[in-house]
Amino acid sequence: MHSFVLRIPLAGSASAPPVEHARLARLQDQGWRLTQTMAGVDGATTGDAGYCEAADWGACGLAFLQDRDGVTHQLDMSPQQAAEKSDLELLLDLRLAKGQDFIHTVYGSFSLVFIHKETGRFEAYRDHLGVYPLYYTVSDGAVTCASDLRACLHLSGVALSADAIRIADFIKGDEVDFDRTAFDAVLRLPPAHQLEPANQTVSPRRYWKLEIPQETVSTDCAEQLRDALQAATLACMRPEGSVGAMLSGGLDSSALAGLAAKQSGAPVQTVSFVYGADKAYDETRYIDAANETFGSIPHKIAIAGAPPLDDLATVLDEQMDLFLAPGLPKARQIYPHARALGLSAVIDGHGGDEVISHGYGRLVELATHRKFSLLYREARGAAKVHSLPFLALFSSHIAHYSGMGPRNPLRRLFLKLARYQTKRSSISGWSGTPISLITSDLQERIAATERYAPDPLLKTKADFNRAECLTHLRALNAPLMAQAFEVFHRSATAAEVLPRYPFFDRRVLSLCLAFPAEMKLRDGRSRWILREAMRDILPESIRTRADKAEFGDEIFDVVRDFYSDKQVSFFEPMSDFVSVDAAEQLRKQVIVREVTDVAAIRALWRLAVLSYWIKGLKGWCDAQAKGILI
């Protein structure tokens, strides 16, 4: 693992006893390195996490700088001096040189705590985008901070109980809050936030916010994107030789693997899943084309299919928190393979869709400006990619955004056409909703109607005119984005590997947000600007492909297999949160294929995850009582 945990007494607390020696000893027995900044401050690190000191300060955490040269320049260090410093040591030096403003000059991933060794005052920081996790809990007059959820629970000794609100959100299929975990006593520090003591507790405070740049970048867009991604990828490749690339054969992972290969002094090792030519979602032909073009060293992991849901117990024990990633039980297998190849980090194309943006907000802008011929062309491309009924997409945009009044007969005609086309193309539908699976008592307690009410992003004509940048920004700022990083981090670090995400370099993000809509969706091709930037780097078969591997049938089969022998009793242990009758009715409908739509299948998948989490909770509580949670 690559993690740290630290327990710090809060100044002014009536009682802040030292942590039980047995819990510290347990960490040491499990291979963690113990550290003590000052009397009463207990902690431990493992893997790449560390502890260092300078002047009157200590720093504990996990850090990876994407602009290490920029930091050493700010510190006026020679290359020789810089070479002797870890990223964590450089961040501590920068904090001492610039005060709390240091955070605005840093590019990278970090989860760290600074402690003043004389006063005991602390500051905790999570990176701007939330790539590295940071959890905390306040108990017995002390705050426990950790990059690992299990370690936070273990060292604090806090009682484990479920957060009903988070569980309701999970059943619904949403990530609503940035700070909740599945345990009501432990919170996550949101991205771009710092944590400081406040009286006898702690207070999180935002230090940065991702926003739409004031100036639009409209010239040399492809060249600028290529340069920015190239610099971001190069920064993620240290130390050279121990960093590989995940390669799925899609546009995002292939782009990064190609940029890595272009800049590496030796062939880059790539790691890929292959399923066999009989599977419609097998990407071997694209993977082979990419590896041949890049001159990389390919490693293929043969996968027969998605693991059965019975394997969720192992995944939940690793994660401890709930997760909205049906592909995780399969995807997490890539990290042990990477480690076996001698890789300590892997370049990951996760988030490319959101960072570059498909550009579908442009459809709203075209309808608003009544550019119907362009709307027709771009909507056809969008519909083809996502297998949507084109006329429904085209007609609904005209009806909603072209300025026609609610009683306009032409508007009614377009709405009727959109509804007809949607109904005609829809698969067997579910009469219920995920909310109906939440118990009525819990719905009432959390005010579910208000909590899950749609929040329309586009409310005015001014919003319609800049629909693409607003939808682009919302996708990047969504709670699910930061929490997905945590899910991957737990699986990767369990295999002693760290994922790195060049798309989530802040400079790449700001640049992509500054591109006009026509750079993202153009000639019916989504993410047009990335395709242009990758000319002469990617094989044309990958650069111009409009489809993506679709695993919907695989998930459906796994869910049906899992529930085929279940009875209503399966849902009863979840009855504090789940409407047993509604869940059982849905199970029966799916088993006989009366209901086959994606929302229903994913809802049942989430209930399977929840069932294993609830089983795991009892075991974790028992382990916590014995001091052996970790």
Write the DSSP assignment of 606-626 as a string of letters.
Answer: HHHHHHHHHHHHHHHHHHHHH
Contact 127, 147 (CB under 8 A): no
- Edge to edge, the sheet with strand 243-246 lists 297-302, 269-274, 243-246, 345-347, 498-500
User: What digits encode the pLDDT tens for the residues 457-497?
Assistant: 999 999 999 999 999 999 999 999 989 999 999 999 999 99
3-state secondary structure of 509: helix
| pLDDT tops 50 at residue 25 | yes
- The position carrying tokens 């001492």 is 96
3-state secondary structure of 178: coil
Q: What is the mean pLDDT of residues 111-138?
A: 96
Torsion of the alpha carbons at 504, 506, 508 and 509, rounded to the nearest 10: 80
Cα separation, 462 vs 16, whole angstroms: 54
Query: What band does 12 get if pLDDT is binned at 50, 70 and 90?
Result: low
Write out the H or E segment, with its range, that includes residue 274.
strand 269-274
Cα separation, 48 vs 44, whole angstroms: 12
Residues 6+ apart with CB under 8 A from 530: 225, 251, 252, 255, 352, 356
- The position carrying tokens 């109980």 is 161
**Percent of the chain residues past pLDDT 90, beyond the cut:** 85
**pLDDT of the residue at 279:** 81
| pLDDT tops 90 at residue 20 | no
**Percent of the chain residues past pLDDT 70, beyond the cut:** 98
> pTM for this one?
0.94
Query: What band does 430 get if pLDDT is binned at 50, 70 and 90?
Result: confident
Cα separation, 93 vs 108, whole angstroms: 16
DSSP, res 338: H
Look over the chain and give the mean of its residue pLDDT values, rounded to a whole number. Answer: 93
- The position carrying tokens 């995780």 is 328
Buried b (16+ CB within 10 A) or exposed e, 102-129: bbeebbbbbbbbbbeeeebebbbbbbbb
Cα separation, 196 vs 318, whole angstroms: 29
User: What digits encode the pLDDT tens for the residues 54-101?
Assistant: 999 999 999 999 999 999 999 999 999 999 999 999 999 999 999 999
Query: What band does 409 get if pLDDT is binned at 50, 70 and 90?
Result: very high
Delimiting residues of CATH 3.60.20.10 domain(s) in the chain: 3-206
User: What digits encode the pLDDT tens for the residues 145-170?
Assistant: 999 999 999 999 999 999 999 999 99
| pLDDT tops 60 at residue 357 | yes
Residues 6+ apart with CB under 8 A from 592: none
User: CA 491: distance to chain centroid?
Assistant: 12
SS3 of the chain: helix, strand, coil, percent, to 5: 50, 15, 35
- The position carrying tokens 């809060």 is 10
Contact 183, 135 (CB under 8 A): no
Bridge partners, 125 (sequence order) = 112, 194
Is 48 assigned a ligand-binding role in the annotation? Answer: no
Half-sphere exposure of residue 291: CA atoms within 13 angstroms, side-chain side:
21
Amino acid identity of residue 234, one-letter, is L
User: What digits encode the pLDDT tens for the residues 206-230?
Assistant: 999 999 999 899 899 999 999 999 9
As a CATH number, domain 3-206 is: 3.60.20.10
Cα separation, 356 vs 349, whole angstroms: 11
**pLDDT of the residue at 427:** 59
Interhelix angle 467-477/361-368, rounded to 10 degrees, is: 160
- The position carrying tokens 């043969």 is 302
Q: What is the mean pLDDT of residues 578-582?
A: 98
The sign of the torsion formed by the CA atoms of 372, 376, 377, 378 equals positive
| pLDDT tops 70 at residue 257 | yes
3-state secondary structure of 348: coil
Backbone torsions φ then ψ of 411, nearest 5 degrees: -65, -45
Query: What band does 420 get if pLDDT is binned at 50, 70 and 90?
Result: confident
Give whole-number Cα distances, 112 to 103, 202, 584, in Å.
Answer: 12, 15, 45
Contact 50, 37 (CB under 8 A): no
Residues 6+ apart with CB under 8 A from 368: 401, 402, 403, 461, 464, 465, 467
Backbone torsions φ then ψ of 33, nearest 5 degrees: -95, 120
Delimiting residues of CATH 3.40.50.620 domain(s) in the chain: 221-355+477-543
3-state secondary structure of 490: helix
Please, what CATH class does the domain formed by 221-355+477-543 belong to? alpha beta
Cα separation, 12 vs 606, whole angstroms: 43
Q: What is the mean pLDDT of residues 27-43?
A: 91
Q: What is the mean pLDDT of residues 379-395?
A: 86
User: What digits encode the pLDDT tens for the residues 278-290?
Assistant: 787 889 999 999 9
Cα separation, 294 vs 287, whole angstroms: 11
Query: What band does 14 get if pLDDT is binned at 50, 70 and 90?
Result: very low
Round to the nearest angstrom and report the end-to-end CA distance of the chain: 12
User: CA 525: distance to chain centroid?
Assistant: 25
Beta strands in 470-522 (DSSP E): 498-500, 521-522
